[in-house]
Amino acid sequence: MRQYRFFPITAPILMILVLTSVIFSSPIFLSNQEKNKQEPSAQHFIVTPATSPIKVDGILDEQAWTEAVVIKLPYEWLPGDNIPSPVDTDCLVTFDKKYFYVAFRCYDPEAKKIRAHLMDRDSTDTFIQDDHVVIMVDTFNDERRAFQFRVNPLGVQADANFSESEGYEDFSWDAIWNSRGRISDWGYAVEIAIPFSQLRFTESSEGQTWGFGAERSYPRSVRHRMSSHMRRRDIGCILCQQNKITGLQGMTTGLNIEIDPTLTAIRTDIREDFPAGAVVAGDEELDPGVTFRWGITPNLILNATANPDFSQVEADVAQLDVNTRFALYYPEKRPFFLEGADFFLTPVQAVFTRTVADPDGGLKLTGKLGKSAIGFFAAYDRINNLIFPANQGSVSTSIDQDVTSGVLRYRRDVGRNSTVGLLYTGRTADDYYNHVGGVDGFLRLSRTKELRFQYLHSETDYTDATSSDFGQPSGHFGGDAFRASFNHFGRNWTYGLSYNDRNPTFRADYGFVPRVDIRSANAQITRRIWGKRGEWFTQITFSAGGNVTYDHEGNLTDSTVALETSYFGPLQTAIQVTYFRERERFLQEIYDKDQLSFYTEIKPAGGIRFNIMGWLGDVIDYSNARKASALNVIPSAEIILGRNININFRHDFQRFTLRGDEIFEANLSQLKVVYNFNLRMFVRGIIQYLNLARTPALYVDPVPRKMQTVFTQILFSYKLNPQTVFFLGYSDNYFGETGIDIAQTDRTFFIKLGYAWTK
């Protein structure tokens, strides 16, 4: 067995880290005058303990609400620029030892126009079309990270982590909290109770100060977004503009323990002799698991899992993979990996947890100690998922071998709003390893300007078989990656520059880095014109940008110049048109391409959304190494009938032609229908259909003339909270091609039970 080779973080990297910490911690980095200009002075509100018990029912009739502090929402920050709100909103805040309570009274002179529908929690595409309220709580008051909670007038929940330095709003994070909403003739009320055990904050016996923002979304012909504080467009940070709440003390998280046992039963039947054979019943598999969460302190969380349930009960959104060079990206949806996920975000995506496919167990520790944020997780996996990147394309594979993997993250707050950090990822198996380590930083240079950077070094050794099968270097090899970007976010102008450099031998097997052997520079500039209330537009933008990419031998591989204009106006209309002039190298030949892309969306009424996007122009036919013409059109629609029925349709049409002759035509359709019984229970059906037709005479290699696939899924879901759940489902797949009628290839039945025990 080969010896695994670890590497030290080199002295230059440590020098960068130390010097950056010194410089940006120094008082000379931001003078007092500059600090005063950084943001408008925050209002401070004193929050007092609840004077009576509170029942979360959306009525707000308790004595505690009568005596709670009232925070108004006087500003419309979008589309208006801190103009008076079109409607009045009161936000009320109080607390007791166990819960943080927030309530809203949302007044509406036309209450019959309130948009409110039932849906699954965190169904954000549908949720943001409804009236709703939002709170952002910066529990460490460091203006870097916040918890976000949203509720619509019926009590539907959405929650997220927000990270300022990464510009990261992650709705896949879930907390266990309570909310209710009620609609009346004067508007609607919302009541929220968040257990302190679900939050992270500094452990202290003294009164605490938190950053706090309250917002209301009021969608009519335009979507009015109102806030409890000014949201200035000439300031790049969000949390630095929030108000502050003080007086929070005596909170307890209890034992801060959560145990989530799960039991999944599954059976998959397969047609082994396809297409003539019968579908053979598979064995029933009973898969128990448990996840453990312990708040060691209110700001340090330990997660552990044994035989974890990483089941995913909704299919990934279907994507066309015809004529693609690089691996497709699918977002993480599994609960264990989502806890503290923003701790592991860096400019280069060196951590992508969907590479962990079928683990026996895992361990994770995340938290913040003073100015230091730490994150660690490890997993023992039964499958090794790998992407082999290059300049011209990537190949992926899954190898049946046991893999031990881990990630270590350290991040330090420096200066007013800046951070620097270290990252290590490692994956090891018999005759295989990949280690990646480096330094990164987010530096806020002023109220509108920011700088991000990351340097990584990798050491890799694949097995002889893997190296031979996928054309990878034999023996151990190393590589480097560097990324830096500078951005200005102003009221009327935004512009940015970025640079990427990845060696041909850089590998990040724990991440999603499908392309290496690049030296790439990018620049873009945007001018925004803001409309006034009642005008024919709310915002118009004009943008120009370009990028150029070379490989490490100095060959031009890509270049693009783009011109774009966008319009936003009444009926929540959005229109965007972009022209691209591109040059692209493929198999040692440079191709010149012209493309035009388009996007338009309209939301004419509550529960109705239509959009269409696509592009047309020149393209490289990678299968046959030639230039072709292409048309790609993707219409989609969402219609909600009453409060309960949601219908969502999307179609992806793509056609390639060569001098008028059709090379291929692909049609990918997805229909999703959901009936929501109430806040906790729904039944959902999904069908995905792909029809691919080719002209074999126009292909270099033999291809079938026709291919069809169908995927269907039906799911019954009951969620008492994100972890206490009952799922009952069925899914199947069909396949057909030239000479083979479409037939079922497999079918799956599954049941999942989950329970959250908290103390």
CA distances from 494 to 168, 491, 543, 585 (A): 19, 8, 9, 30
Residue 275: asked if its preceding bond is cis (omega within 30°), the reply is: yes
Strands 359-369 vs 372-381: parallel, antiparallel or unpaired:
antiparallel
pLDDT digits (tens, 9 = 90+) for 437-482: 999 999 999 989 999 999 999 999 999 999 999 999 999 999 999 9
Residue 715 per-residue DSSP state: E
Query: What is the per-residue pLDDT for 313?
Result: 52
On the question of pLDDT at 45 being above 60, the answer is: yes
The count of structural domains within the chain is 1
Lowest mean pLDDT among 3-12, 404-413, 492-501: 3-12
Which CA distances in Å does 542 have to 133, 355, 494, 525, 545? 31, 39, 11, 8, 10
Helix segments in 200-253, DSSP class H: none
* Residue 560: its H or E element: strand 556-569
In sequence order, the β-bridge partners of residue 359 are: 381
Rounded Cα gap, residues 618 and 117, in angstroms:
43
Residue 237 lies in a domain: yes
Asked, for residue 456, whether it belongs to a domain, the answer is no
User: Is 89 contained in some domain?
Assistant: yes
**What tens digit of pLDDT does each residue of 678-711 get?**
999 999 999 999 999 999 999 999 999 999 999 9
Arithmetic mean of pLDDT over the chain: 89
CA distance 322 to 654: 9
Mean pLDDT computed over 411-415: 92
Q: pLDDT for 255-293, tens place per residue? A: 889 999 989 888 999 998 898 889 999 999 888 988 898
* Token pair listed for 31: 């003078």
In the predicted model, is pLDDT for residue 724 greater than 90?
A: yes
Could you tell me which residue, 488 or 344, shows the higher pLDDT? 488
Comparing CA positions, the residue from 352, 307, 350 lying closest to residue 332 is 352
**What is d(CA 353, CA 20) in angstroms, rounded to the nearest whole number?**
29
According to the model, what pLDDT value does residue 550 have?
96
Summarised one tens digit per residue, pLDDT across range 97-136 is 999 999 999 999 999 999 999 999 999 999 999 999 999 9
Q: What are phi and psi of 35, to 5 degrees?
A: -60, -40
In the block, tokens 């690049």 appear at 518
Contact 161/173 with Cβ under 8 angstroms?
yes
Average pLDDT of the segment spanning 638-650: 96
Higher pLDDT, residue 317 or 601:
601
Contact status, residue 676 vs residue 119, Cβ threshold 8 Å? yes
Q: CA nearest 218: which of 305, 128, 287, 280?
A: 128
Question: Which residue range is the domain that position 176 belongs to?
Answer: 39-248
The whole-number pLDDT of residue 25 equals 40
User: Three-class SS string for 675-710?
Assistant: EECCCCEEEEEEEEEEEEEECHHHCCCCCCCEEEEE
Distance of alpha carbon 731 from alpha carbon 746, whole angstroms:
9
- The answer to whether position 3 is within a domain reads no
User: With 90 as the cut, is the pLDDT of residue 253 above it?
Assistant: no
Question: At 531, is the secondary structure helix, strand, or coil?
Answer: coil
* 630/614 Cα distance (integer angstroms): 10
Instruction: Strands of 390-473 (E only): list them.
Output: 394-399, 403-414, 418-429, 432-444, 449-461
Question: CB count, 10 Å around CB of 36?
Answer: 11
Average of pLDDT values for 506-529? 95
Give me 543's structure tokens. Answer: 């943008």
Which residues, listed in sequence order, are joined to residue 626 by a DSSP beta bridge?
Answer: 621
pLDDT tops 50 at residue 72: yes
Mean predicted confidence (pLDDT) in 300-328: 61
- List Cα–Cα distances, 618 to 391, 579, 580, 582, 654, in angstroms: 21, 12, 10, 9, 13
Neighbouring-strand partners of residue 487: 450, 496
Please report the DSSP string for 50-80 in residue order: -SS----SS---SHHHHSSEEEE--EEEESS
In a domain, 220, yes or no: yes
pLDDT of residue 23: 42
3-class SS at 177? coil
If pLDDT is split at 50, 70 and 90, which confidence band does 171 have? confident
Q: What is the value of pTM for the model shown?
A: 0.86
The residue ranking higher by pLDDT, 327 or 554, is 554
Could you tell me the pLDDT band of residue 333, with boundaries at 50, 70 and 90? low
CATH code where residue 148 lies:
2.60.40.1190
With respect to residue 76, please indicate whether it lies within any of the assigned structural domains.
yes
Please report which confidence band the pLDDT of residue 3 belongs to, taking 50, 70 and 90 as the band edges.
very low
Beta bridge partners of 133: 151, 216
pLDDT at 30 over 50: no
Q: Provide mean pLDDT across the span 724-736.
A: 92
The answer as to whether 138 is a domain residue is yes
Q: Which two tokens stand for residue 355?
A: 């590479």
Instruction: Name every residue whose Cβ is closer than 8 Å to that of residue 22 and which is 6 or more positions away in sequence.
Output: none
340 has pLDDT over 80: no
Range 158-180 average pLDDT: 88
pLDDT at 324: 54
| Percent over 70 (pLDDT), the chain | 91
pLDDT of residue 228: 97
Angstrom distance (rounded) from CA 443 to CA 445: 6
Q: Is the pLDDT of residue 632 over 80?
A: yes
Report if residue 658 sits inside a domain: no
Question: N- to C-terminal Cα distance for the chain?
Answer: 47
What is the number of other CB atoms lying within 10 angstroms of the CB of residue 525? 14
Q: What is the pLDDT of residues 197-216, one digit of tens each?
A: 999 898 888 889 999 999 99
How much is the pLDDT for 39? 47
Higher pLDDT: 387 or 335? It is 387
Distance of CA 323 to the CA centre of its chain: 26
Can you tell me the distance from the alpha carbon of 297 to that of 257, in angstroms, rounded to the nearest whole number?
11
Confidence of residue 331 (pLDDT cuts 50, 70, 90): low
Please confirm whether the linkage preceding 79 is cis (ω < 30° from 0): yes
Percentage of the chain beyond pLDDT 90 is: 72
Tell me how far CA of residue 415 lies from CA of 19, 131, 165, 452, 480, in angstroms. Answer: 12, 38, 13, 15, 28
Residue 272 CB-half CA count within 13 A:
5
DSSP symbol at 515: B
